[in-house]
Amino acid sequence: MSHAAPVFSAPFQDLEAYGDWALATESERTAKRVSSPMPAIQAFYDALLPRLEACAAYLDQFPVDDMPPDARRLLWLTLSLMEVANAVELYKQPRLSNGFEIARFVPLEKDT
């Protein structure tokens, strides 16, 4: 039996189930949102939103360009929350049905 190392630091280990949302780029986060069923998006949103202030306070300890790996993953997780917020709060679906085709959206990005 093997035990994987925690993805997040101790105060946030309850968010381990959502580690697959900790994605480095906006493109990856968008792809995750549009390919996820709405119940999974809602569960992620419901789990992370109440923890957002604690996440921000923890992340404020580190310069954004010099974060330890667990903090960087937590940052990516919070960015995924921003990615799904409109889907939950406004659209009630993973993608906007009358918007641009997602393939046309090409952000100029680097890993955060």
Question: How far is the C-alpha of 95 from the C-alpha of 67, rounded, in Å?
Answer: 31
Q: What tens digit of pLDDT does each residue of 69-86 get?
A: 999 999 999 999 999 999
Domain boundaries, the chain: 12-94
User: Mean pLDDT of all residues in the chain?
Assistant: 88
Q: What tens digit of pLDDT does each residue of 36-55 get?
A: 999 999 999 999 999 999 99
pLDDT of the residue at 95: 82
Question: How far is the C-alpha of 2 from the C-alpha of 25, rounded, in Å?
Answer: 29
The number of angstroms, rounded, from the C-alpha of 68 to the middle of its chain's C-alpha atoms is 17
Give pTM, 2 decimals: 0.84
pLDDT at residue 103 above 90? no
